[in-house]
């Protein structure tokens, strides 16, 4: 049974006004447990709208959403359960911090779940460890952290609820390359350790290639493709057509392949290096 | 829910009303509001209603949107009408039963009041539907500029008003975003008693203040960087100019007032002294 599932979901913004727009249109989607799904698509293609349906933040105009087989709008209880089963971290989550200390802020979610002090403490410390926040930062005010630390504190606030599915909406937006890699490594490690399902919305096809097991491509409110990294990235023409930029290395490899060096295809620098070292020598 | 507020709501259009000079529109609105209190009988009041309807039709704003602007005042209108019906005396008696006395004067006053309030609100909302907030504040600044003689910093006040209006949608978006983020962490905003509900707002208000202050500082810096000093001598990118249509609209309003006066005189007052 898929852990997340959508059946014919459509969402309208500004319904009934002149600026009404369909942000996602008749989406059917199944996501299996344990998958790390990268969601890509051009600006405004509906990625954020799509993911905000999984924990009931947005209510669809039509269609049904299932988490663990339960229709999340079937009852008030089901909606609230979905909130905790599916942890959603919004774009620029650092603007949601509000408590006096980082520790208290991370414990906001677990507290809302009604856990006891002991359990809360355990979860906060564990979450802080996952995102790589040092112990001494926990007693600081969240407003005194650096941008990257704030981002990590906010992500920890979601992880601390120990959701079955973790959804991150552009967690690396606006960070420098080092900060970006740190977050990506953290996500990968988190998934490996906890075995949870992760959805990662991203603009960078390279980031997605680095860690995702599956890729979902959104285009103009529709799902354009959904498959493994290799399946999706091999359609480079199509991807370019819908305004996505395939990774730099892939472009280089395409050119090399055209020139007669049969190197195969690579989507990350690491994979490229590997391929060149193994096959490249023979080909040249 | 929070998106329903309609302050400074602008309806994009190309009608003649949209193209009228904002200053003239403010003057016309004020004149209309005054003249609506001149009506003394149903004929002149009818003329007012007719004029209001014409304005709505000419503006191209859908009736549904206009109705939405009346909705909030429905309670006030009903309430004042009821008070008028039961408490205004004079004219012929219609109902006289125990403590309930209803007279023609009461019913007429109620009808007059209700119609006046509705027309007034519709016409003022036509002003905001057909004028962008920026144009509106520019116009207010221009109209108030004589006050500069009394050392009132009109342009600074106008700038503050423009900025405040400009940031309403931004703040609404921000509130939505923060609310959603906290809801995703299980914040419960809809249940609980009064104290609990107030407490539940803290996770929304604190980030809102933090980001508003940050935004204000950024905005001030950005204005400084462009050497904004305000004060006298500032010119506008868009100069306001009166066109023929503005004078024509003034003429229309004057004809309307003349019509009211004539109808008042011809049919007499409906309320008995
Ligand atoms: N709160 C809103 N009100 C009205 N329209 C909205 C709102 N949020 C999004 N939209 C519209 O819905 C469409 C999809 O937006 P969405 O935020 O899901 O895109 P996205 O793929 O996440 O884009 P980005 O990569 O820029 O984050 C866009 O056309 C956008 O203009
Ligand atoms: Mg988005």
Closest Cα to atom 28 of ligand 1:
A44
> Inter-chain contact A83–B184, Cβ cutoff 8 Å?
yes
DSSP state of A245: -
User: N- to C-terminal Cα distance for chain B?
Assistant: 47
- Lowest-pLDDT range of A145-159, A246-260, B50-64, B174-188: A246-260
**pLDDT recorded at residue A281:** 58
Instruction: Give domain status of residue A271, yes or no.
Output: no
Q: Dihedrals φ, ψ of B22, to 5°?
A: -60, -35
Instruction: Give domain status of residue A56, yes or no.
Output: yes
**pLDDT recorded at residue B273:** 61
> From the CA of A45, how far away is ligand 1's center (Å)?
7
Instruction: Give domain status of residue A256, yes or no.
Output: no
Instruction: Give domain status of residue A75, yes or no.
Output: yes
Residue with tokens 């349906």: A53
Which whole number is the average pLDDT over B157-184?
87
Instruction: Give domain status of residue A132, yes or no.
Output: yes
Residues whose CB is less than 8 angstroms from the CB of residue B256 and which lie 6 or more positions away in sequence, other chains included: B32, B35, B47, B48, B51
- β-pairing, A4-13 vs A86-89, is unpaired
Give Rg (Cα) of chain A.
Answer: 20
Separation between Cα atoms, residue B264 and residue A118, nearest integer Å? 80
Structure tokens at A170: 């552009």
Edge to edge, the sheet with strand A222-228 lists A86-89, A165-169, A197-201, A36-41, A214-219, A222-228
Instruction: Give domain status of residue A259, yes or no.
Output: no
Put simply, whether A54 touches B (Cβ < 8 Å) is: no
> From the CA of A46, how far away is ligand 1's center (Å)?
6
Decide: A45 in ligand 1 pocket, CB within 6 A. Answer: yes
As for the ipTM of the complex, it is: 0.85
CB pairs under 8 A between A and B: 58
Put simply, whether A180 touches B (Cβ < 8 Å) is: no
Put simply, whether A41 touches B (Cβ < 8 Å) is: no
Q: Which structural domain, as residue segments, surrounds residue A8?
A: 4-246
> Inter-chain contact B181–A18, Cβ cutoff 8 Å?
no
pLDDT, tens digit (0-9, with 9 covering 90-100), for B190-231: 777 888 888 888 999 999 999 999 999 999 999 999 888 876
Which whole number is the average pLDDT over B25-34?
93
Considering only CB atoms, A57 lies closest to which of B184, B202, B210, namely B184
> Inter-chain contact A161–B185, Cβ cutoff 8 Å?
yes
Separation between Cα atoms, residue B20 and residue B199, nearest integer Å? 48
pLDDT, tens digit (0-9, with 9 covering 90-100), for B89-144: 877 888 888 888 888 888 888 999 899 999 999 999 999 899 988 888 889 888 98
**pLDDT recorded at residue A6:** 95
Instruction: Give domain status of residue A252, yes or no.
Output: no
Domain count across chain A? 1
For residue A45, give the ligand nearest its CA: 1
Instruction: Give domain status of residue A190, yes or no.
Output: yes
Residues whose CB is less than 8 angstroms from the CB of residue B141 and which lie 6 or more positions away in sequence, other chains included: B154, B155, B157, B158
Within 8 A of A90 by CB-CB distance, chain B residues are 177, 180-181, 184
Task: Please report which helix (H) or strand (E) contains residue A23, including its range.
Answer: strand A21-31
> Which CATH number is A206's domain given?
3.40.50.300
Closest Cα to atom 11 of ligand 1:
A23
Closest Cα to atom 24 of ligand 1:
A43
pLDDT, tens digit (0-9, with 9 covering 90-100), for B173-189: 899 899 999 999 988 88
B91: nearest Cα among B114, B109, B77: B109
**pLDDT recorded at residue A73:** 94
Separation between Cα atoms, residue A281 and residue A127, nearest integer Å? 45
**pLDDT recorded at residue A95:** 83
pLDDT at A247 over 90: no
Separation between Cα atoms, residue A150 and residue A105, nearest integer Å? 11
């Amino acid at each position: 049974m898929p852990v997340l599932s959508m059946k014919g979901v459509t969402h309208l913004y500004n319904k009934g006004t002149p600026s009404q727009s369909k942000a996602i249109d008749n989406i059917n989607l199944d996501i299996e447990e344990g998958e790390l799904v990268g969601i890509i698509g051009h600006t405004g293609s509906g990625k954020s709208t799509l993911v905000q349906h999984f924990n009931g933040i947005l209510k669809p105009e039509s269609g049904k959403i299932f988490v663990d087989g339960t229709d999340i709008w079937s009852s008030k209880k089901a909606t609230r359960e979905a909130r905790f089963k599916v942890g959603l971290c919004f774009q620029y989550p650092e603007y949601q911090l509000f408590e006096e200390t980082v520790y208290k802020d991370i414990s906001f979610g677990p507290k809302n779940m009604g856990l006891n002090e002991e359990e809360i403490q355990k979860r906060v410390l564990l979450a802080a460890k996952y995102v790589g926040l040092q112990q001494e930062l926990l007693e600081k005010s969240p407003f005194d952290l650096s941008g990257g630390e704030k981002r990590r504190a906010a992500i920890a606030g979601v992880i601390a609820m120990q959701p079955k599915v973790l959804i991150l909406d552009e967690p690396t937006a606006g960070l420098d390359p080092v900060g970006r890699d740190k977050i990506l490594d953290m996500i990968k490690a988190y998934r490996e350790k906890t075995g949870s399902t992760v959805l990662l919305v991203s603009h960078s096809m390279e980031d997605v290639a680095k860690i995702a097991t599956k890729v979902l491509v959104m285009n103009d409110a529709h799902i354009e493709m959904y498959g493994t990294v290799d399946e999706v990235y091999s359609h480079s023409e199509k991807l370019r057509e819908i305004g996505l930029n395939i990774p730099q290395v892939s472009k280089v490899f395409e050119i090399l392949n055209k020139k007669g060096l049969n190197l195969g295809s690579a989507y990350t620098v690491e994979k490229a290096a590997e391929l060149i070292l193994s096959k490249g020598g023979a080909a040249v | 829910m929070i998106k329903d507020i309609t302050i400074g709501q602008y309806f994009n259009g190309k009608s003649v009303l949209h193209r009228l000079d904002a200053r003239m529109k403010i003057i016309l609105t004020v004149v209309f509001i005054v003249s609506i209190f001149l009506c003394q009988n149903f004929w002149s009041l009818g003329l007012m209603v007719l004029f209001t309807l014409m304005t709505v039709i000419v503006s191209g704003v859908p009736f549904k949107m206009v109705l939405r602007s009346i909705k909030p005042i429905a309670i006030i209108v009903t309430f004042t009408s009821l008070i008028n019906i039961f408490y205004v005396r004079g004219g012929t008696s219609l109902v006289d039963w125990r403590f309930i006395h209803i007279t023609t004067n009461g019913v007429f006053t109620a009808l007059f009041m209700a119609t006046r309030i509705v027309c007034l609100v519709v016409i003022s909302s036509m002003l905001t539907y057909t004028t962008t907030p920026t144009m509106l504040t520019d116009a207010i600044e221009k109209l108030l500029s004589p006050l500069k003689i009394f050392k009132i910093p009109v342009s600074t006040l106008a700038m503050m008003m423009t900025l405040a209006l400009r940031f309403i949608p931004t703040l609404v978006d921000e509130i939505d975003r923060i609310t959603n983020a906290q809801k995703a962490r299980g914040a419960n905003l809809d249940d609980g008693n009064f104290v609990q509900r107030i407490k539940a707002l803290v996770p929304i208000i604190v980030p809102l203040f933090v980001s508003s202050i940050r935004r204000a500082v950024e905005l001030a810096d950005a204005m400084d960087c462009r050497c904004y000093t305000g004060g006298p001598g500032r010119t506008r990118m868009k100069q306001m100019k009166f066109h023929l249509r503005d004078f024509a609209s003034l003429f229309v309003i004057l004809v309307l007032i003349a019509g009211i006066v004539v109808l008042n005189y011809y049919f007499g007052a409906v309320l008995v002294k």
